[in-house]
Amino acid sequence: MTTRILGTGSALPKTTWTNDDLSAFIDTSDEWIRTRTGIIRRQIAAREESAASLGAEAGRKAIENSGTALEEIEMILAATCSDEGYFPSAACRIQAELGVRGAVCMDINAACSGFLFALHTAHAYVQSGIYQKILVIGTETMSRVIDWKDRSTCVLFGDGAGACVVGKDEKGILGFSQYSDGSRGSVLTGTAATLATPGDGAHPAGALFMDGQAVFRFAVKTVPECIQDTLEKTGKNIHEIDLFVLHQANSRIIHSVAKRLGAPEEKFPINLNEHGNTSAASIPILLDELNREGRLERGSLIMLAGFGAGLTWGTALLEW
């Protein structure tokens, strides 16, 4: 027996900012952002929206989609690195919003790898028999931790949440690989949360900093290696994989990973053009979109891959 994703959900803020909207207040252009990243637009949380409210909406949809009763959810894991405060956790606030009284709740911070790390944690709880049904959520309000005066990072990110319900089943997770290297953490840091909104000129000292080229090199080297790790562990080969659901940071990274692996680009779905980089939410949002479009066939093999601050990175192979 293993752990299967029983249902998915996602939620996005109501407000969309195009590249042209950003170029109204910072020195950038639609052409630069599209050609360097593939991003066209992203959703930005309004004051009344939060990592908890978006996470709760995504979680509610995942619970409905899985056919699970609310009272069956025994644990809520929220992967986030951009919540509005240190405590209570996003997971506890999501619990309150959903009314899942019996669940044990906590956040996991592995930045853009957070959803994968949370999924692996849920898998361990399910396989140990401690909990049967777990709600796993990636939820971010990156717009509140980025420096809106730094054009090299603020054009990249968006807000949103994705979620899934997991439980024991015969098919599901086939294998995992996870890595962390804190000694290289200085290339991507976020040291203060803020309520800054686009265009208001306010940003705290120490908001998100990224050495983009260093992170780019890290991603295109480690993601293919980590995919190969999981293929070896599970006895599968690259040609057997039906879809590669990668963290949505930059379409050039995704194309480079496809090329290095010798896998067709059509197997690498992309939605970062619509949502930007939503950090821990990007993989579950894309999974939910694919699920609702009917593109995840029962029995197909899906490789998930995340990478980001920490540094952290990981892959998971699922039999859907």
Catalytic residues: 112, 247, 277
* From 11, 103, 112, 135, residue interacting with ligand UT7 (rule: CB under 6 A): 112
Is residue 25 close enough to count as binding ligand UT7 by CB under 6 A? no
- Nearer to ligand UT7 among residue 181 and residue 297 (C-beta): 181
With contacts defined by CB under 6 A, name the span among 49-57, 82-90, 213-221, 257-265 that binds ligand UT7: 213-221
Closest distance of CB 291 from ligand UT7, Å? 23
Q: Which is nearer to ligand UT7, 136 or 156 (CB)?
A: 156
Is the distance from CB of 202 to CB of 235 less than 8 angstroms?
no
Check residue 37 for interaction with ligand UT7 (CB under 6 A).
Answer: yes
Nearer to ligand UT7, 131 or 209 (CB): 209
Specify whether the CB–CB gap between 302 and 296 falls below 8 A. yes
Nearest-approach distance from CB 265 to ligand UT7, in angstroms: 17
Work out how close the CB of 249 gets to ligand UT7 at its nearest, in angstroms, rounded to a whole number.
3
Binding interface with ligand UT7 (CB under 6 A): 28, 32-33, 36-37, 112, 151-152, 155, 212-213, 215-216, 219, 249-250, 253, 277, 279, 308
